[in-house]
Every structure is written in C-alpha cells, then in structure tokens.
C-alpha cells in the first residue's frame, strides 16, 4: 500500500475513533445533566408540595382553634353550667348537640378545671392520659401547646385546647379530632411518585401521619425513621403552630428507573452512531481503494502521455526545424511557413504535456522542490532576460523598476522561474499594443513581493473569482494575434508558490477613467 494511502487510513481511523469517543463523552454528559435536572425537578416538586402541606395543615389547625374559641365564646354559659354540674346529662347532651353542629367530624371533647382534672368521667375511653397530661402542660404556661397525634384504640387524634372562665372558675375546654383528616390533606397534595409524611422531630423523627392515615394505618415494627430513611429525605418543612415537620422522600426506585432509561437511550444512540460510523468507515475505505485505483490509472495515463507524446513530438519538432533551416535542401517560402507552423504546434504540444505532468504531480503531492538559498532579484532578472524574445512577438518590452529588493529566499529556482515565465508571458499576451511591462521587487515585512504589471484591458469582473482554477482563460487577445494557452499555467503557478509557503494574487482594473491594466504578484518568505 502506498505511504499516502497508509497515512489516509491512519488518519480516518484516528478521526473515527476520536469522533466515537467525543460522542460517548457527549452522551455521558447529556445523561448526567438530564439526571441532575431530573433530581432537581423532584427536589423542586418536593419543596412545592411541602409548602402546600405546611400551609394547609397550619391553616386547618389555626381554623380549628379559631372555631373552638368561637364555640367557647358563644356557649360559655352552657360550658359553665356543665362545669358546675358535670353529672347533669341534659347539660352534657345539649353541649354535644351544639358541638356536633360546629364540628361534625370531631372525635371527643372534655372539660377540666384549672388544675387539668377532668370534670366528668369519660366512659367511652376516648380521652387518654396523654390528653390530660397535655392539658396540664397547657395550663402551666411553660410552653405554648402545639398539637400532635395521640394514639387511641378508637382512633388516633389530636387536641385543640381553649381556656374558659376566670380565677377559680377557669378551666380548659378541648376538642379532639381524628388524624385522618390530615392524611386527606397530604393525599390531595402528594404526587404519584412522592412520599410525604408528618413526623415529630422531637421524638426521634416519630411518624405521625402519612397519606394512608395516622401511623396505625401503616404497619411497621418501629414508627421512627431509620438512618436509611433519613438519608432519603429531600427536605423538611416545620408546620407552623404544631410539633410536626412535613418531609418528602427521595424515591430511589423512580430515580433508578429513570437512570436505567437514560442508560438504555444513551447506549442505543451510541450503538446506532457506531454502526453508522462503521458503515462510513467501510464506505470511505472502499472509496479510497477506488480512488487509489483511479489514481494509479491516471498516473499510468499521464506516464504514457509524457512518454508516448513527448518522445515522438520532440523528434518531429527536431526534424521540422532541421528542414526549416535548410538541412534537407532548399525549400520555398510557402513551404517554410507551413513547416514553421507545424514546429510551433509541436512546441505548444510539448508545453501542454509539461503542464499536465505538473498538474498530476501537484494533485498527487509528488511535486518535488529542489530548494536552495538564492537572491530573488537574480532569479527575476534572469527570467526577464530569457523572456525578452517572447515579448518581442507581441511588440512589448519588459522594464525592471529600481530599486529592487535584494534579499535572499529559499526556493526551487526552476519552479520560481516557471512562475515568472507564466506571469511574464501572460503580461505580454494580454497587455496593450507596444506595452511596457513593469517588474518590481518590494520587501513587505518578512516577505518579498514580485509584481508584474501590464496596461492591457484588464480582467473581466465575472472571470476574476475563477482566475486561478484549472482550464480558466479570459480570452482577450490582441488584434490579429492568437493566444495559445492550456489554461493550466496560473493554477500551476499558484500551487508552486503556495508550496514555497508563499502567496499569490492579482489586482486589475477595467475602468478607462481610472486606468486599465493588471498586476500579478507573488510573495515568498525572506530567508
């Protein structure tokens, strides 16, 4: 396999591997970003949900307290009568009837004196010792009473307490409500992939209420959160006016499911990309193999052209020159004219073969340069001297513009002479009648610019963009003269200059008022 083919294979394999790694990295980054966004989304949802639970539970408790206070205010006389006569069933039943109108969902109620001792016996067992203990704490004033869940075989509940009376007649009226009403609030806010609870942080994160109801509705051995559960808590919100905190749990199954979904999607995309990349590699290798075959065929054809055309054409030209010069005997003027024309066509054919060989070498990267340290001024002067006879055919002369920069460059003299010859011949062919072609060398920074200026009609605007392309010719010959060109000269010149790490360009004008003419230039780095 040719070296350039091996290099190509290494390059595209490296490129494909690099592209695959970049895609893998990009997919990993996207999956990580999506996972973080998913996590943050759930955190935000949890915060919003806990805010909702906090506000609604707080509002519910404050409303219950306000309504109990209103009830006590509106029924203070009845309450005092019952407190004075706790065994009077009529007073008790009247108060129960009125209480049911205010609180259809209440669980139990009771009255105590200012020492927290109940005034009548709770025959149903709904009022627990824990309730009475809380009453005494409420009356002590050491701490504002905040509701929490009281366990009871009939129903887990919480109490709302209000003072009534003054002095010796002061006491506490409290109403108990089932905790399930709080679970309804949680259930209305909790999303399908959420787990929200009310807990008591002061009792080692004791679970109070979940969406299913009070903690007795959710069976487990220990109703305190374990260490693993605490690690899964997204956030905590203190519920104002209570002893509770609302907490939201990290749903590990939901995150695992989403993570597995992301991994599957990323692997699927990566597999599809690798498959397409492999198909492209196979396609590139096939096309490269075909290109190499065509390249070899092209080289063979150009080799055949170079050999099969150059050798016989050179022999024909030599023979024609020999006949034209009288080597085969005298010939008349008409015959000499035709023989000289044929010899000229042979010369043009040889130049065309040389151009095609140069193009082939440039395109295949085989254009070899024999660089050496030279004075660019000397190269230009010699090229102008060699081109003088050609300029005389077009009735033009070359003029060197002094002073000419005399710096050294590192170049292939033969190839730079080829560039100069092309620019000089074009100036002669396309310049004006009796034109004076001006040649200058100017130093621009670390470069030498060689400029060749004619005073011809200039280059048409529509042709300027493609001037250095292959087979490009702006046909503008002088009167009664035919311009012979392969259309490859400028393309070859540009490639030669660029291989010397230089640049090439032109400036032209077709405006008769501002002056016409064209300047071709090239620059080479100063040694």
pLDDT digits (tens, 9 = 90+) for 414-426: 889 989 999 999 9
| Buried b / exposed e along 63-80 (16+ C-beta atoms within 10 A) | ebbeebeebbeebeebbb
Q: What is the DSSP string of 98-162?
A: HHHHH-TTEEEEEEEETTS-BSS--TTS-S-HHHHHHHHHHHHTSS------B--SS--EEEEEE
pLDDT digits (tens, 9 = 90+) for 16-25: 788 888 989 9
Are 211 and 190 in contact by the 8 Å Cβ rule? The answer is: yes
Of the segments 265-274, 470-479, 482-491, 504-513, which one has the largest average pLDDT value?
265-274
Q: What is the pTM of this model?
A: 0.53
Whether residue 144 is predicted with pLDDT greater than 90 in this model: the reply is no
| Buried b / exposed e along 430-443 (16+ C-beta atoms within 10 A) | bbeeebebbbbbee
pLDDT at residue 474, as a whole number: 55
Residue 380: name the closest of 479, 522, 208 by CA. 522
pLDDT at residue 62, as a whole number: 93
Point out which residues pair with 150 in neighbouring strands. 157
Are 178 and 187 in contact by the 8 Å Cβ rule? The answer is: no
Residue 5: name the closest of 363, 285, 322, 315 by CA. 285
Two tokens, residue 505: 């360009």
Mean pLDDT of 231-243: 90
Whether residue 72 is predicted with pLDDT greater than 80 in this model: the reply is yes
Please give the biggest Cα pair distance in the chain.
164
pLDDT at residue 509, as a whole number: 79
98 pLDDT band (50/70/90 cuts)? very high
513 pLDDT band (50/70/90 cuts)? low
CA 244 from centre of chain: 47
Whether residue 240 is predicted with pLDDT greater than 80 in this model: the reply is yes
Q: What is the distance between the alpha carbons of residues 31 and 28, in angstroms, rounded to a whole number?
A: 5
pLDDT digits (tens, 9 = 90+) for 146-168: 899 998 888 899 999 999 988 77
Whether residue 479 is predicted with pLDDT greater than 50 in this model: the reply is no
54 pLDDT band (50/70/90 cuts)? very high
511 pLDDT band (50/70/90 cuts)? low
Whether residue 471 is predicted with pLDDT greater than 70 in this model: the reply is no
Cβ-based neighbours of 159, under 8 Å, separated by 6 or more: 131, 134, 147, 150, 174, 175, 176, 177
Q: What is the distance between the alpha carbons of residues 49 and 52, in angstroms, rounded to a whole number?
A: 5
Point out which residues pair with 62 in neighbouring strands. none
Q: What is the distance between the alpha carbons of residues 311 and 293, in angstroms, rounded to a whole number?
A: 27
Q: What is the distance between the alpha carbons of residues 360 and 305, in angstroms, rounded to a whole number?
A: 12
Two tokens, residue 25: 């990295």
Q: What is the distance between the alpha carbons of residues 61 and 426, in angstroms, rounded to a whole number?
A: 100
Q: Which residue carries 């973080």 as its tokens?
A: 36
480 pLDDT band (50/70/90 cuts)? very low
Are 290 and 296 in contact by the 8 Å Cβ rule? The answer is: no
pLDDT at residue 253, as a whole number: 81
For 5-19, 21-35, 217-231, 315-329, which range has the lowest pLDDT when averaged over its residues? 5-19
Whether residue 1 is predicted with pLDDT greater than 50 in this model: the reply is no
Whether residue 525 is predicted with pLDDT greater than 70 in this model: the reply is yes
For 76-80, 312-316, 517-521, which range has the lowest pLDDT when averaged over its residues? 312-316
For 49-53, 304-308, 366-370, 473-477, which range has the lowest pLDDT when averaged over its residues? 473-477
pLDDT at residue 43, as a whole number: 85
| Buried b / exposed e along 129-163 (16+ C-beta atoms within 10 A) | eebbebbeebbeeeeebbbbbbebeebbbbbbbbe
Average pLDDT, rounded, for the chain: 84
């Amino acid at each position: 396999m040719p070296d350039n083919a091996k290099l190509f294979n290494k390059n595209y394999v490296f490129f494909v591997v690099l592209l695959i790694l970049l895609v893998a990295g990009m997919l990993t980054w996207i999956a990580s970003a999506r996972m973080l966004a998913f996590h943050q989304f759930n955190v935000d949802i949890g915060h919003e949900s806990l805010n909702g639970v906090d506000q609604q539970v707080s509002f519910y408790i404050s409303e219950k307290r306000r309504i109990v206070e209103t009830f006590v205010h509106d029924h203070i006389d009845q309450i005092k009568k019952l407190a004075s006569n706790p065994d009077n069933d009529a007073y008790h039943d009247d108060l129960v009837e009125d209480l049911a109108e205010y609180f259809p969902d209440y669980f139990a109620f009771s009255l105590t004196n200012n020492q927290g001792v109940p005034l009548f016996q709770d025959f149903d067992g709904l009022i627990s010792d824990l309730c009475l203990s809380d009453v005494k704490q409420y009356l002590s004033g050491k701490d504002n009473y905040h509701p929490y869940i009281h366990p009871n075989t009939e129903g887990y509940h919480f109490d709302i307490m209000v003072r009534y009376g003054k002095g010796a007649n002061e006491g506490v009226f409290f109403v108990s409500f089932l905790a399930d009403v709080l679970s309804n609030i949680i259930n209305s806010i909790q999303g399908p992939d959420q787990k929200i609870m009310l807990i008591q942080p002061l009792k080692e994160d004791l679970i109070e209420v979940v969406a299913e109801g009070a903690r007795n509705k959710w069976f487990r051995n220990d109703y305190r959160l374990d260490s693993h559960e605490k690690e899964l808590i997204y956030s905590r919100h203190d519920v104002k006016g209570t002893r509770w905190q609302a907490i939201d749990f990290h749903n590990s199954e939901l995150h695992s499911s989403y993570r597995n979904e992301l991994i599957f999607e990323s692997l699927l995309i990566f597999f599809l990309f690798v498959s397409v990349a492999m198909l492209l590699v196979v396609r590139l290798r096939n096309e490269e193999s075909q290109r190499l075959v065509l390249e070899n065929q092209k080289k063979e054809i150009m080799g055949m052209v170079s050999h099969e055309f150059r050798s016989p054409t050179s022999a024909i030209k030599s023979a024609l020159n020999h006949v034209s010069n009288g080597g085969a005997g005298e010939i008349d003027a008409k015959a000499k004219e035709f023989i000289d024309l044929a010899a000229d066509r042979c010369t043009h054919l040889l130049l065309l073969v040389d151009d095609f060989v140069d193009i082939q070498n440039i395109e295949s990267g085989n254009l070899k340069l024999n660089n050496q340290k030279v004075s660019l001024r000397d190269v230009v002067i010699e090229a102008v001297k060699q081109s003088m006879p050609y300029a005389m055919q077009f009735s033009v002369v070359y003029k060197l513009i002094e002073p000419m920069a005399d710096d050294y460059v590192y170049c292939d003299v033969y190839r730079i002479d080829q560039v100069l010859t092309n620019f000089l011949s074009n100036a002669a062919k396309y310049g004006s009648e009796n034109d004076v072609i001006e040649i200058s060398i100017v130093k621009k920074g670390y470069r030498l610019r060689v400029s060749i200026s004619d005073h011809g009609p200039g280059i048409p605007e529509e042709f300027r963009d493609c001037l250095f392309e292959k087979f490009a010719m702006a046909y503008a010959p002088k009167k009664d003269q035919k311009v012979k060109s392969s259309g490859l000269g400028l393309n070859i010149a540009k490639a030669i200059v660029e291989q010397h790490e230089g640049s090439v360009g032109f400036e032209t004008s077709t405006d008769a008022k501002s002056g016409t003419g064209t300047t071709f230039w090239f620059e080479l780095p100063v040694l």
